[in-house]
Chain A
């Protein structure tokens, strides 16, 4: 059982709703716990009995392949019983309210509920209503805490630290939950964050979150230790923000040539799913600086850590 961590912080939360409310100590505790789970994924038999007898419900109201698979694998590696519940074919498509859906699940006494929802604050609504612990797997444009944690874990594995790094995040800042969680996490841990993107995709007051704002890719990339590219979804943002994919790529698309000026050991990240040729050129996505697939691998360890901490088993055995 992975128990030994150097962090002096005790985990007391029942829910993981966002990064905004976490302390640096809590973030470190999750990352350290993830570290101790990493080797489980490298064993021939990738399973530990840690969450045996615990029930986890994956409640996905928005389509997701990566995050959902990652949670599922994390749950299975921890020996939890899991139940998948998606919006299509569920009671939700029959007009049941989120609260009613949740109360019905609650009646089956799950220990944890992982929720992905198109509306900001949906996990918070569940957390107010339910006894089960709630894990936010992405709510609207608000937060995606486990994504930020796996990003931080990946950065830490490459750079050995977070403090003092320059991290550039490029894309549709306004509609991205990944950005918000990453900003909270990285600034709490002492990294310097620059966000960049078209002015039409930059939300007002973003600098109040403690970041620098850049409106050219070159400025964002200059001296960057980490570059995170965000998915551009024309269907979601509409043509009031950018006229065409072509125009976007010409201004903010990341190509090898545009990496000039970044730190020599820069790493390139992307939360996925990628649009090759839209926000990132294949030569970069598949190039030597890319750690994009590693992010996916670490996602499982980080989610195992979160499930483990929230399940309360570390308290039960303490």
Chain B
């Protein structure tokens, strides 16, 4: 992957050294989970150092002097970041966000979106192409990257469009965009409905070794639907989006993939049956990966009724049934799911403050994902902390072929520190995102991000979003 793609927060200056100590370091790529200190030099990981066993019962808080004399090879003493009580993980990567820039800066910008990312514990995001103009050519890709270099609080990896103007008719200039820094292609927000175009995209993208990410939705089946089709859409009298709208698309694409090869990634997978299709294809050896969102893991279609038509529960794919939700949880645990991604989709409050049918699809995710996952997945024992780090960092780095996702020596020093026990009450009014559209406002969660480092530098955030 081109190094220039990794833009955003600046890297450390030569000779700069930092030691993150006393934390619980988790790096699934190296199979590490335990008492390790992390030494960073010149913006890259220098070394992961095992700490000696401590006496049981004693808490991790230690005097800062410890260990400093041990480090002999550096010319200068390293700065120290005390991570006692915290998890030290490779920087989290959200591979599915909408930064809305260019074109819809009233919803979000590269600056505010990456601020939200950093506040949520993410050191990198991959942003979707449905901007205005569409990111379907290198000048838009370059524009996003230049905004990220100048105003970013996290690394930004643009995802280019599959088709020109997202129209699903002609292939976009994928090679040009990849050379400019795009890491994948997707028409997300819309599916690639035309099977022939999808076949061509899967073939052509192989020249540039990027995955094709599909928003799997058969538009004829989803029709005018605004929520999952089932008991609750029937009760509420809202038009339904059947699970089959996703399933038939995933099934179709997997058949195409069998012929084409290449890499295929299912965005925001939401149904039990799609997951089973991916599971079987994987077993068959097909190059398929998939992501799920926190909201599909935590909420179901019943939430639309519980909140009495709250438009904060309106997104695509829609919140599914409890059966689907349980299947996704099982998919996290058994390894079928590769990635948790938020599908951060900012919308202005005025756009959401309308009749359910008329509201745009989508909710925020960057500032709630980590807390939700810690509280609703790790705390009840659905998955381990290490598996969560894999889903939020190692997995997305692997799917997109990014340099991060591990704390192996020589990796970029992108690090996330979080407190798995820290309690936090979500307050949308205090989000750093420019938008406020979340169904989780007011939720109290155990588990919160504490700091991010990008290229060895701690990311400093403004207290509150401007405006």
| Interface set of A (CB-CB < 8 Å, partner B) | 20, 97-99, 117, 119-122, 124-125, 128, 139-143, 174, 177, 180, 203-206, 208-209
A122 to B358, CA, bound (A): 10
The verdict on B229 contacting chain A, using a C-beta distance below 8 Å, is yes
The interface residues of chain B lying within 8 Å CB-to-CB of A120 are: 236-238, 309, 356-357
The interface residues of chain A lying within 8 Å CB-to-CB of B350 are: 97
B103-130 CB mask vs A (1 if < 8 Å, else 0) is 0000000000000000000000000000
Top-4 shortest CB links A-B: A121-B309, A205-B231, A142-B237, A141-B237
Q: A140-B238, A142-B236, A204-B231 are in contact. List 20 more A-B contacts (CB 8 A).
A: A97-B350, A98-B355, A117-B355, A120-B236, A120-B356, A121-B309, A122-B355, A124-B308, A124-B309, A125-B356, A128-B308, A141-B237, A141-B238, A142-B238, A177-B237, A180-B235, A206-B234, A208-B231, A208-B234, A209-B235
A-B contact count (CB 8 A): 69
A140 to B356, CA, bound (A): 11
The interface residues of chain B lying within 8 Å CB-to-CB of A203 are: 233-234, 240
- List which B200-248 residues lie within 8 A (CB) of chain A: 229-240, 242
Select one of A20, A121, A177, A205 contacting B356, CB under 8 A.
A121
A20 to B233, CA, bound (A): 14
The interface residues of chain B lying within 8 Å CB-to-CB of A124 are: 308-309
The interface residues of chain A lying within 8 Å CB-to-CB of B234 are: 174, 203-206, 208-209
The interface residues of chain A lying within 8 Å CB-to-CB of B356 are: 119-121, 125
Select one of B236, B239, B353 contacting A121, CB under 8 A.
B236
A86 to B235, CA, bound (A): 27
A120 to B308, CA, bound (A): 10
Pull 22 A–B residue pairs with CB atoms less than 8 Å apart, ordered by A. Answer: A97-B350, A97-B354, A98-B355, A117-B355, A119-B355, A119-B356, A119-B358, A120-B236, A120-B238, A121-B238, A121-B308, A121-B355, A125-B309, A125-B354, A125-B356, A139-B237, A141-B237, A141-B238, A204-B230, A204-B231, A205-B232, A208-B234
A244 to B37, CA, bound (A): 74
Minimum CB distance partner of B220 in chain A: A240
The interface residues of chain A lying within 8 Å CB-to-CB of B358 are: 119
Minimum CB distance partner of B239 in chain A: A141
The interface residues of chain B lying within 8 Å CB-to-CB of A128 are: 308
Pairwise interchain contact A20-B309, C-beta atoms closer than 8 A: no
A220 to B185, CA, bound (A): 53
**Counting chain B CB atoms within 10 Å of each CB, which of A120, A142, A180 scores highest?**
A120
Pairwise interchain contact B309-A143, C-beta atoms closer than 8 A: no
A87 to B354, CA, bound (A): 16
**Counting chain A CB atoms within 10 Å of each CB, which of B229, B242, B355 scores highest?**
B355
Pairwise interchain contact A97-B353, C-beta atoms closer than 8 A: yes
The interface residues of chain A lying within 8 Å CB-to-CB of B229 are: 204
Minimum CB distance partner of B355 in chain A: A119
B351-392 CB mask vs A (1 if < 8 Å, else 0) is 001111110000000000000000000000000000000000
A307 to B423, CA, bound (A): 47
A125 to B355, CA, bound (A): 7
B237-263 CB mask vs A (1 if < 8 Å, else 0) is 111101000000000000000000000
Q: Distance in Å from the Cβ of B227 to the closest Cβ of chain A?
A: 10
Minimum CB distance partner of A97 in chain B: B354
Minimum CB distance partner of A181 in chain B: B237
Q: Provided the pairs A119-B357, A121-B309, A125-B309 are in contact, do residues A143 and B240 lie with their beta carbons within 8 angstroms?
A: no
The interface residues of chain B lying within 8 Å CB-to-CB of A209 are: 234-235
Q: Distance in Å from the Cβ of B361 to the closest Cβ of chain A?
A: 15
A206 to B358, CA, bound (A): 25
Minimum CB distance partner of A61 in chain B: B355
The interface residues of chain B lying within 8 Å CB-to-CB of A121 are: 236, 238, 308-309, 355-357
Q: Provided the pairs A125-B309, A205-B230 are in contact, do residues A99 and B357 lie with their beta carbons within 8 angstroms?
A: no
**Counting chain B CB atoms within 10 Å of each CB, which of A128, A143, A180, A204 scores highest?**
A204
A99 to B233, CA, bound (A): 23
A132 to B353, CA, bound (A): 19
The interface residues of chain B lying within 8 Å CB-to-CB of A141 are: 237-239
A140 to B354, CA, bound (A): 14
Q: Distance in Å from the Cβ of A93 to the closest Cβ of chain B?
A: 15
A209 to B233, CA, bound (A): 12
A142 to B232, CA, bound (A): 11
Q: Distance in Å from the Cβ of A118 to the closest Cβ of chain B?
A: 8
The interface residues of chain A lying within 8 Å CB-to-CB of B231 are: 204-205, 208
Q: Distance in Å from the Cβ of A155 to the closest Cβ of chain B?
A: 23
Pairwise interchain contact B357-A140, C-beta atoms closer than 8 A: yes
Minimum CB distance partner of B351 in chain A: A97
Q: Distance in Å from the Cβ of A119 to the closest Cβ of chain B?
A: 4
Minimum CB distance partner of A17 in chain B: B308
The interface residues of chain B lying within 8 Å CB-to-CB of A205 are: 230-232, 234-235
Q: Distance in Å from the Cβ of B246 to the closest Cβ of chain A?
A: 16
Select one of A98, A99, A180, A204 contacting B237, CB under 8 A.
A180
Pairwise interchain contact B240-A204, C-beta atoms closer than 8 A: yes
**Counting chain A CB atoms within 10 Å of each CB, which of B231, B238, B309, B358 scores highest?**
B309
Q: Distance in Å from the Cβ of B187 to the closest Cβ of chain A?
A: 26
Q: Distance in Å from the Cβ of B225 to the closest Cβ of chain A?
A: 12
